[in-house]
Structure 1
Amino acid sequence: MLKISKRIEIIKSLLDENTNQSLTYAALECRLTLEYICYERFKLSCSYLSEKDLNGWRPRDVVKQMSEEVDEDINKGFTISVCKHASGDKVPKTRTEYESLEYNYLGEQSALKLNRLHSLWQAISNVALHIPIPNIKSEELNIYGNNEQISKKVTDILKFLSTLNGNILMGGSRGETFNFECFFCETPIKKPFKYLASASIVNCINPNCGESYLIEPDSENEFEITRRVIKFPCHNCKLDLEIPSNTFNNLRFRQVLNATCGNCNASTDLIMSPMIKENIQ
């Protein structure tokens, strides 16, 4: 777990130097720290969500999506305590009985205000980590931003970081999960039942695997798994060849994809090109 106090110490030392270079480095340390805080929480539960499933790349977006699809507590604050309970003791049944037990404090997770974090992350980049594109009214170009503006934003981030005083992080789904293995690479894939829609597209979490699946409920309240592929016949033996749908996502116009038939070893070139479909009224 990231030591926030250590990060604050590093940023403060750069802020105290108060030079163009040190303030810029302080801004960079701030941005990296904010990103680390988000990605650290994401990593705790990333076995439930593939990078290909992410709707956005910004740190806030990643944590927000994780909270909506895997772990609703990922950015919440809470305290964890435990109590000893001998096997012969009476099992508590009511909230009052649970609260009357003697607990030992383990730690707490700090709440993460994502909108505030995102605002600070964006602001520090704007004032210190980008050179504005010039126009006819621009003044002389400068490698460094305005010292006063940078100092203020760095100070705002230090105040924000000082509120994150938790000493534990928890991740993962605490409910029932739907589990299966990728048909191709055998990587375990799991999704919380409560977040599965009527029809959900799930990508393999292995970054080196291009497989994806359609998960649909069947008539017996179970789920049917369908591998998402594009089929086409081999030009030589006419056997159906199957290519994962994700393979085509990033192909450019006129780009060629070569496929080899596993039955007759014939080679086929697939060319990405527009298709015309006539709509009949």
Structure 2
Amino acid sequence: MEMLEEHRCFEGWQQRWRHDSTTLNCAMTFSIFLPPPRDTIPPPVLYWLSGLTCNDENFTTKAGAQRIAAELGIVLVMPDTSPRGEQVANDEGYDLGQGAGFYLNATQQPWAAHFRMYDYVRDELPSLIQAHFNVSDRCAISGHSMGGHGALIMALKNPGKYTSVSAFAPIVNPCRVPWGEKAFLAYLGEDRAAWAQWDSCALMYASQPEDAIPTLIDQGDSDQFLADQLQPAVLAEAARQTAWPMTLRIQPGYDHSYYFIASFIEDHLRFHAAHLMK
């Protein structure tokens, strides 16, 4: 691993690292915020997954999460949103290829060789964090838009791994919206039955009651993607039918931007802290 940047921040450290990923077969960067040490107990981790076109720096520089994370004693880990590099397949569209990994394991060419973001976020990255940093094994996960989709499927597919999950304006039903349909067709092929394992709504309907974890979703009602791409009410109905402990908050006047995230990130950090610190 190679450290690319380090900055003092709220008595902690904001760092950026590069490493060679064996899962994605390319070099990857991630950002990490290390809060000031509070005691001898290793701090828990919140993983943050960003959205389309983003990398590991968007949340780091725009969300303003470090102050509260420092207060609460939570490590923040921000991976990139896809594999990167000249040898990695790409597409001219902003919503496919590099910057648009959708946190799944691609099965189709030319994507399958590198686009295994699900395995990277679930296995390789946490192992790396555990090996190189003083952290506990307690973790939670959150994300925005495509990253909100990623956070939700990570939690739904891995019962017991995360203490809680939250999302800002997540793509909750990718099988049935244009962003998801385009990505899933390219990455997973034409068999729509194979898509369901990457769809939060399908996963929630198939979940077991004992696997449910506290879930918080914030959605701005002035989000330009709300009606066509996001549709959180569909997941809210799945939560109602399965008695999944989910809170959906519709925030008046807020859009899809990081101004929205910055406005409510403190709520999400305190929500996760309540479960991480148990």
Q: Give the TM-score of the pair, scaled to structure 1.
A: 0.23
Larger Rg: 1
